[in-house]
Structure 1
């Protein structure tokens, strides 16, 4: 085969492509035999054997157990070496910084939560991040230098033009113009930043309800109400990173707010955000509204309402009214973007399950011309953190699994 090593079509590049295909198959299916890898990749047995020997020598795969249940000796099984690389994710809210470390297979090996209560950042943000990361690294039995890449998810978004966090004035300490430089200086690994709702969409696209979908909207309702827009398989972030900040969207029936200055100050947020649920429940005659943090109260009310059957039950009226309010804002997104799928995520939506999903779908059909499929999010355990890990792992695998380097 003619050409210079490293150019398209040369043996080196083809080997690297086959290596990556085999590694991806091992990640997807778990331990596989040489014969099975050969069948799935279309490679001959000798070529598959050479490939596995090469990956084992590079520390990327391990020879594990053997196949069972067939006559004769079992075939050797191979799996991705979990210790080939590690990646980390951090989920930031006003109340806590949650960090986790995953091995290259995606298994979480360490997690740590750092409470950050209060309206002022008592501990500097850089220290919060490093303390949370170090806690997760220690829980994993690793050192900070073992982490290949870190992705941090926050409300709002860092403006690519200024480097400052926008749309998240409720996050104390995170608005310094030098913050990103300070974090880069304090951490030994590459660091990326992403909007929290965007990361929830990454989690759903890779692991959950949006797998296989190139065009979808994720509607999020938890601490705040927002959306993630995935168009052509890629996140659409907007010019300043603010695409999907639908909490500020003016909608019928909501107060008109002329100054956007804080979380929850927009029309859609006031109409259907988590903090509106307790007041709405009381207006509709729900007698036993629980007390506590508004996110927990909202999820409890929605879960209880989803179990109500009788149309005259105040809880049922709450679910119907909530669905109408959600559809009122969602109709604008659907009308402009015409997505294939809408994923409902965040505790104030997933708590309603299919009952809420069906009501929102029916209301949306009355308000918008297009008819996207609606699905309840599958990734319900720390979806922002899971998305941060998946994002960090994707880049880490691209680098570590590239055997042409």
Structure 2
């Protein structure tokens, strides 16, 4: 326990002296010295310069040895796969992107992405301790099959996770991409310190991550939070079932209304003809009249879907994430909040995502690092 406490302090604060580690842990100087000697012998810490502490010799500084382990995080979408490799301290050391192909060569593309990121860092597969892959949809814990993701050809084998683990030579976790965005938000973003929150992701697809008591709610088949399929007035229902394995993912009512394609359709109704959701909402924000109508309708749609979630979950906080809320910014957030105000429902705090960079990759790295550190830092 003392070893792990010291390692966590070094990760949090950076290089520390023996005296400072003793102060932060409450250990005596002899015990702190024994601890650091043990960790240094195990190859988990290394010396890294000195610091002046007043009269007498300078104090030796210690840090976690970043080469004790590496992890890989992957973000998968219909266009391709992005892989990032980080050392045990969380520092990014390599990144690589591969474009998807029509044949759905899943294992080949995953290993190509990981190998490219490893090569950029001068590493090999044997250096990896954990791999976490973020995908749309959800892995059914009973069957091992990816559900709710018909637009990912090649990702629906029941042995997918074992196949990828065998190819990469590391334990592999396949996690819903929106769940990973919520992990990133809880560790680094707007949900820090919050135990009960919902993250609504509105992008090309729409989904939610539900965190209750600090834990992700997954559901019996892993599909908790698949709100893109939620029935909504004025939009058709999705057909084909969550086991569907081919074709586009049109989602259900909610996704048709608030996804990036849905926002483009709304913009067209009001006389705008943008090519991207960012352009659509930029035009809406800068054009009084018709632009206001676009924003008001989008806020109404978002609030209607959120009201259903809030009525069931009663979260303390709702975080808006993905390209649609990002493009709408604070004005869209305020309009959604106004739509929710006055309803006969609890009114949670409503915040924009505060994660810089890719929330999915950041969440995947945080998840992979947590598992890898538990394994690497175990000195028992």
Shorter-chain TM-score bucket reads: over 0.9
242 and 46 in structure 1: CA distance in 2 versus 1, 3 angstrom threshold = same
Give the whole-Å Cα distance in 2 for the aligned partners of 1:373 and 1:68: 46
What is the Cα deviation at residue 304 of structure 1? Answer: 4.9
State the SS of the aligned residue for 2:342.
Answer: helix
In structure 2, what is the Cα distance between the partners aligned to 1:354 and 1:75?
Answer: 48
Maintained 8 Å contact 2:126/2:169: yes
Other-structure match for 2:103: 121
Residue 255 of structure 1 deviates from its aligned partner by: 3.3
Whether the 8 Å contact between 2:138 and 2:176 is mirrored in structure 1 is yes
1:278 and 2:254 correspond: no
Contact 1:35 1:45 in 2 (8 A): yes
Alignment partner, residue 133 of structure 1: 114
Matches within 5 A, 1:75-90: 75-90=59-74
Tell me by how many angstroms 1:97 deviates.
Answer: 0.8
Q: TM-score, normalised by structure 2?
A: 0.93
Distance in 2 (CA, whole Å) between partners of 1:269 and 1:284 is 20
Q: State the secondary structure of the residue aligned to 2:304.
A: helix
Deviates more, 1:88-97 or 1:28-37: 28-37
Instruction: Report the aligned-residue RMSD.
Output: 2.0
Shift of 1:385: 1.4
Query: Aligned to 2:341, what secondary structure does the other structure show?
Result: helix
Structure 1, residues 197-254: CA drift from partner, whole Å, max 9, x if none?
1111111111211111111111001120100111111111111111110001112343
Correspondences of 1:148-159 after superposition (within 5 Å): 148-159=129-140
Could you tell me which runs of 5 or more consecutive residues in structure 2 were left unpaired when the two chains were aligned: none
What residue number does 2:345 align with? 369
Distance 2:118 2:357 in 1: 20
Alignment partner, residue 198 of structure 2? 217
Structure 1: state its 5+ residue gaps. 1-16, 292-296
State the Cα distance separating 1:355 from its structure 2 match. 2.0
Report the Cα distance in structure 1 between the residues aligned to 2:66 and 2:209, rounded to whole angstroms.
Answer: 31
Could you tell me which residue of structure 2 aligns to residue 208 of structure 1?
189
Q: Quote the residue 2:334 is aligned against.
A: 358
TM-fit CA distance, 1:101: 0.7
Match of 1:347 in 2: 323
User: 1 CA distance for matches of 2:36 and 2:279?
Assistant: 51
CA contact (8 A) 2:238 2:250 kept: no
Shift in Å at residue 68 of structure 1?
Answer: 5.3
1:77/1:352 Cα in 2 relative to 1: closer, same or farther (>3 Å)? Answer: farther
Q: Which segment is superposed worse, 69-78 or 197-206?
A: 69-78
Provide closer, same or farther for how the CA distance between residues 71 and 323 of structure 1 changes in structure 2, counting only shifts above 3 A.
farther
Structure 2 CA distance for aligned equivalents of residues 52 and 170 of structure 1: 51
> How many Å apart are 1:303 and its aligned residue?
4.3
Alpha-carbon shift at residue 131 of structure 1 (Å)? 0.9
Match of 1:401 in 2: 377
Provide the TM-score with structure 1 as the length reference.
0.87
Equivalent in the alignment of 1:11: none
Alignment of 1:1-400 (within 5 A): 17-67=1-51, 73-117=57-101, 120-121=102-103, 124-257=105-238, 260=241, 263-286=249-272, 289-291=273-275, 297-306=276-285, 308=286, 312-367=288-343, 369-400=345-376
1:8 match: none
Q: Decide which moves more: 362-371 or 103-112.
A: 362-371
